[in-house]
Amino acid sequence: MSLAKRYTLYIFLITLLLGVFFYPIEFYFTFKKESRSLTTEVYRILDSHMPSIVSSLWLTNTSLLQKQMENLTLFPYIERVEIQDDEGTLLFSGSKVTERLVKHEEILYYSYRGQDLEIGKVNLFLNFDKLSRDIKRDKMPDIAFHFLISVFLALTLALLFHYLVGRHLKDCAEFLKQEGMDNLATPLKLKRNREREDELELLTASINEQRRKILAFIKEKELITKEIHHRIKNNMATVISLLNFQAEATENPEVISALKEAQTKLSGMAILYDKLYRSENFQELSLKSYLVPLAEEAVSLFSTSKTVKLITEVEDIVLNTKQLSVLGIIVNELITNSMKYAFPGERAGTILIRAEEKNGRLILTARDDGVGLTIKEGNSNHGFGLEMVEILTDQLGGNILLEGESGFKAVLDIPVK
């Protein structure tokens, strides 16, 4: 629920609660006031009718007394009238039920030869319940009016809140949802007729300042990261050149082979760093853009004295850099093994590197048409290179299948993350 809707609901509930709270208080004081007025009215009525009632009672004019009592019951809230003479004879008019009626009693005196003689009494039964109901009924229009005022006030305040605050907060939230580096460079501007030095303006300025700092921090981080990658790549290139010079300076075939292997491993890492350096995303990279140049570099380092054709069929699959680095080591090791052992002497041949995605898994195939490799089932002792490939494949959560007939073939099945 938006702030404006909640604001409307809260204002409405508050006004209703205030009405519920003050209505009983107002009713209480109104009832007290009307009760006093009714009591005053009763005294006035008795003062005006007492002489005729006393005279009729003294003359024992029953019919006239009955008529006078009926007239008294015509007054509002007088439900019953009783007149009792000094002998106990009771005359009444009005309601027969006296429960919940309030009795008002007056003694009747007749002045005779200078003396006040008590000749009876009159009882008026007042209906205060009816008075209460009438007050509540009379208050209903006021309650309805107050309710409408509450609704109107709540809606008016809600519209004002939405116009002054709510819509700007919504625009601010929608603006902050936008993604991308370019959006950080765009300042937040609220749709207001003029600038005001209020809380919204302070919020806008604070957001823009924080976005500016974030953008500056990101650019600085990117610059530092690229500089690190650039230096690592240069250092690797220097080490590769030193290994190459060392290999050219020696005549020992085993030393040359070891130096070439070290060169291929470093070349694979250098290619990865170079791709990351040129990429905008340091967390992910295309397998095709990394694996193809890595395979070409590995083959070129060993193909100075033999003709080996490289075929690459690699799909454009995006992987995280951790997976890529391990896959680079694996492919580099498989190509190195093929170049060292599959084509003895000056034998020519072909190496195939294929990578494709099937049902969320990467199927990587490295195959050559060389002399092959004797692989016994259940025997993992294929040399350090292939053993390392098996260990790295296991680290990636995959499995590997090796075949040595009609050339060498390795098939890796790895989950894509």
Token duo for residue 287: 């397998």
Token duo for residue 99: 């429960």
CATH fold label, 284-417: Heat Shock Protein 90 (3.30.565)
pLDDT at 22: 81
Higher pLDDT, 61 or 274: 61
E-strand ranges in 194-344 read 284-286, 308-314, 318-320
Is 128 buried (19+), middle (13-18) or exposed (0-12) by CB count in 10 A? middle
Token duo for residue 380: 């993992």
Query: How many whole angstroms separate alpha carbon 277 and alpha carbon 272?
Result: 9
Domain ranges of the chain: 3-149, 179-282, 284-417
- Integer CA distances (angstroms), 277 to 219, 329, 332, in order: 14, 19, 21
* Least confident range of 52-66, 177-191, 351-365: 177-191
pLDDT at residue 99 is higher than 90: no
> What pairs with residue 352 in β-bridges?
311, 367
Residue 414 sits at φ, ψ, to 5 deg, of -130, 135
Residues 357, 315: contact at Cβ < 8 Å?
A: yes
pTM for the whole thing?
0.49
Single out the residue of 316, 305, 310, 415 nearest to residue 367, CA to CA. Answer: 310
pLDDT at 305: 60
> What pairs with residue 111 in β-bridges?
116
- The contacts of residue 218 (CB under 8 Å, 6+ apart) are 181, 184
**Looking at beta carbons, which pairs linking 185-188 to residues 24 or more positions away fall under 8 Å?**
185/215, 187/211
Residues 236, 272: contact at Cβ < 8 Å?
A: no
Single out the residue of 322, 417, 405 nearest to residue 371, CA to CA. Answer: 405
Q: What is the mean pLDDT of the chain?
A: 84
Residue 378: pLDDT band with limits 50, 70, 90: very low
* Helix, strand, coil % over all residues of the chain, rounded to 5: 60, 20, 20
Query: How many whole angstroms separate alpha carbon 287 and alpha carbon 320?
Result: 9
Identify the top-confidence range among 14-28, 72-86, 153-167, 298-312.
72-86
- Integer CA distances (angstroms), 34 to 27, 102, 269, 350, 391, in order: 10, 15, 98, 113, 98
